[in-house]
Amino acid sequence: MARFTRPFQRGFTLLELLVVLAIVAIGSAGVGFAMRDGTQTQLEREALRLSALLESARAQSQLSGVPVRWLPTAHGFRFEGLSDPAGGAAALPQAWLDSDIRAEVEVGRTVALAGPPVALLLGPEPIIAPQSVTLLSRSQPDKLVRLGTDGVRPFAVQVAP
């Protein structure tokens, strides 16, 4: 009976290499998600929150028939024209979750950079002028998120080109 012996093998099989590559890919993806920029994430979170607040105020304006304006302030923002049936101010937040955030409003071609702030007009008409808000980081001015509306659709976060 003849015995066949395999010569000493060096190297790895294709399956072993694929397993190692899959492990490296999963590990690097996890590191990439863990190292995501916190400032950009906070800006995106604030933009989503603000778009929901603007749409809520817009709906309240349409229901009540009272014009509602949104204005950025030094440390937050405020809604003018909203009130509850008891005569008090509406229960919408008026501050950013992170004090590092600031806002610039653009209505048509007008941007509020200095002087009195430009306000967003949220109603009561169902169709409003095209408007946008840019949220910026005070500590990292190159980080920004823009949200806006064309006047018909709701306010939404806009993707940069």
- Within a domain: residue 20? no
Structure tokens at 61: 């304006």
Contacts of 37 (CB under 8 A, 6+ apart): 143
- Within a domain: residue 6? no
CATH, residue 133: 3.55.40.10
- Within a domain: residue 30? no
- Within a domain: residue 5? no
Higher pLDDT, 8 or 11: 11
pLDDT at 91: 75
pLDDT at 112: 45
- Within a domain: residue 71? yes
- Within a domain: residue 26? no
For 12-22, write each residue's pLDDT tens digit: 888 999 999 99
CA dist list (Å): 101 to 2, 50, 140, 145? 80, 12, 10, 11
Q: State the Cα–Cα distance between residues 25 and 19, nearest whole angstrom.
A: 10
- Within a domain: residue 109? yes
For the four alpha carbons of 39, 45, 50 and 51, in that order, the dihedral sign comes to positive
Residue 60 structural domain: 38-158
The tally of domains found in the chain comes to 1
Higher pLDDT, 59 or 5: 59
For 58-114, write each residue's pLDDT tens digit: 999 998 899 999 999 988 999 998 776 555 455 788 899 988 999 999 876 554 455
